[in-house]
Amino acid sequence: MSDQIIIAAAALVAIGIIALAALRGWQGWLALKERELERGAHPQREIEGGAPIGAARIEIADLKERIRKLEAIASGVDL
């Protein structure tokens, strides 16, 4: 009977340690995300219009697509 109590107590302590470690990791992850959000409040600007980096890439891709279509129209190719 005493062996079972020792095993149960050890298991309970182990679960407590794992729970504390997981909680510490969760708090660290939340702190990381909070810092990312704070840094993201003033994103870097890539183009003159003031668009954020991702939007600037999309805008450039859109402009390239428009140029390609205009060149096709100018050369008489039907899209």
Taking the domains of the chain in order of start, what are their residue ranges?
1-42, 44-79
pLDDT for 40 equals: 73
* Total length of the chain: 79
pTM of the model: 0.47
pLDDT for 16 equals: 96
pLDDT tens digits, one per residue of 26-74: 999 999 999 988 887 555 555 556 656 677 778 888 899 999 999 888 8
Q: Distance of CA 14 to CAs 6, 21, 26, 68, Å?
A: 12, 11, 18, 63
pLDDT for 65 equals: 92
Q: CB-based contacts of 16: which residues, under 8 Å, 6+ apart?
A: none
What is the DSSP-derived secondary structure letter of residue 47? S
